[in-house]
Amino acid sequence: MLHELITTLAYDPHSPSAQVINALPRAMGDRLTTELKRRLWLLPKSGSIRSHPSYELMRLSLTLSQLYQPLHLNRRRLIDWVYARLDAHTARHHLHNIDAIYAYEDEAATTFEAAKQRGIRCLYDLPIPYYQTSQRIQAEEAERFPELKSAISAIQEPGWKLERKQQEIELADHIFVASSMTERSLLEIGIPANKITVIPYGAPVDYFQPQPKPDTTFRAIYAGRLSPRKGAHYLLAAWKELNLPQAELMIVGSNMMPPDWFAPYQDGCRLVPSVSHMALNQYYSAANVLVFPSLVEGFGLVLTEAMACGIPVITTPNTAGPNLITDGVEGFIIPIRDVEALKEKLEWCYRHPDALAEMGKAARLRAEALNWECYRQCLAKKVQKIFNQLIEKES
């Protein structure tokens, strides 16, 4: 069904531009190459990739060189600028000879508006809960913990960006989401249920594999940015109160909390700075359980990564957890903001190693059933069904 795939960067390590990057000073060249490797695209079986890299390369240059600081530019706004430019370019140049366009949040408003004028169907991918739900939950958290307000970003979004989000939702003919949490956020604002399809993202079972645990220490792992939105402060409070002997909480990811906030929780915790995606397998495999107590999450890829490694999960209903696991089988679903529930499940995991290991085996089996091929097939089948329904209405 694919006609064109439109993106900013489609990195080819053998291209002339890659050779230019290799000629840069090593420190800058290595950082830029690392960033660009995240943009590798496998050429689709049909259609073609159209990349428009100039604005994104400009953003990367400003960011990696730190030039954005003396120029008084906001890093987040630079990303928004790139999205808006790609959106505008797509609307002007890529709406010919197609029946539908599939676009993502924050880069679809202008394209959808132009598509509607041409009678082109607008399919929308919303990877996170609608902003009103996200803002509400995080505003509540800022009231509960004023000292963490500086680390809560969603309550600081500019009005023009929120207007674009609303415009995208209104123009979309159908909306694809990855979790029931995101679906609920749309139902709350009156979007009809038949306009929404939930398809959980695939588990990376091909390149995340179970590995032998290297030691006997009980270890809970938290992967991802350490931030209030992800409920990190509740997890740290629970772990400190438990004070389990011969146990470690390993946190893998950037610390986004206010300065010195983490200091009182360092005993029994190990903070590992952000690591490459492929290196995560060894960290998951060193743990007994993943804890992901997020307050608001569109999915939580760490859940399927850990499950693919044969690690059970403790998470909340505000992630994709309910779409991925059965409570008590591959892990546990607990309420958000519940320190006591976190303590109870962590202590159960600590005291029942054999049952926990069986949960890990069940998690791997579930991940194998939710692979990326399954995701692709479900998405293609639904898109085709939407087209068939349109043909039936027109006839």
The domain boundary residue, chosen from 73, 105, 131: 73
Q: Which two tokens stand for residue 203?
A: 């588990």
Helix, strand, or coil here: 286? Answer: coil
Distance CA(128)–CA(71), nearest Å, equals: 31
- Supply the pLDDT for residue 28: 65
Question: In this structure, are 232 and 313 located in the same domain?
Answer: yes
What's phi and psi for 52, nearest 5 deg? -130, 85
Q: Which residue, 163, 111, 155, is CA-closest to 133?
A: 155
Within a domain: 259:
yes
Distance CA(172)–CA(36), nearest Å, equals: 31
Within a domain: 79:
no
- Supply the pLDDT for residue 395: 64
Question: In this structure, are 148 and 231 located in the same domain?
Answer: no
Question: In this structure, are 385 and 246 located in the same domain?
Answer: no
Strand pairing partners for 48? 4
Within a domain: 83:
no
Question: In this structure, are 353 and 393 located in the same domain?
Answer: no
Within a domain: 78:
no
Question: In this structure, are 229 and 362 located in the same domain?
Answer: yes
Residue ranges making up the domain that contains 190: 89-202+375-395
Domain count, the chain: 3
Question: In this structure, are 65 and 150 located in the same domain?
Answer: no
Question: In this structure, are 175 and 278 located in the same domain?
Answer: no
Question: In this structure, are 278 and 342 located in the same domain?
Answer: yes
* Threshold 0.85, pTM exceeds: yes
- Supply the pLDDT for residue 43: 66
Question: In this structure, are 344 and 270 located in the same domain?
Answer: yes
What residue type is assigned to position 135 of the chain? Q
State the 10-residue block means of pLDDT for the chain, 395 residues long: 89 71 69 73 76 88 86 88 95 94 96 96 96 93 90 78 95 97 97 96 95 95 94 96 95 89 88 84 96 97 97 98 97 98 98 97 97 95 88 70
What residue type is assigned to position 259 of the chain? P
- Supply the pLDDT for residue 131: 92
25-34: long-range pairs with CB below 8 Å, 24+ = 28/64, 28/65, 31/64, 32/60, 32/64
For 349, what's the count of Cα atoms within 13 Å in the CB-facing half-sphere?
Answer: 34
Question: In this structure, are 231 and 365 located in the same domain?
Answer: yes
Alpha helices for the chain (secondary structure H): 16-22, 26-36, 54-64, 75-93, 109-117, 131-144, 159-171, 180-187, 232-242, 280-285, 301-308, 321-324, 339-351, 353-369, 372-394
- Supply the pLDDT for residue 66: 87
Within a domain: 149:
yes
Q: What is the domain-level CATH number for residue 298?
A: 3.40.50.2000
Question: In this structure, are 114 and 56 located in the same domain?
Answer: no
- Supply the pLDDT for residue 154: 64
- Supply the pLDDT for residue 17: 66
Q: What share of the chain is helix, strand, coil (3-state, %, to 5)?
A: 50, 15, 35
Question: In this structure, are 66 and 165 located in the same domain?
Answer: no
Distance CA(163)–CA(234), nearest Å, equals: 32
Within a domain: 80:
no
The domain boundary residue, chosen from 15, 40, 73: 73
Within a domain: 26:
yes
For 70, what's the count of Cα atoms within 13 Å in the CB-facing half-sphere?
Answer: 4
Within a domain: 387:
yes
- Supply the pLDDT for residue 157: 78
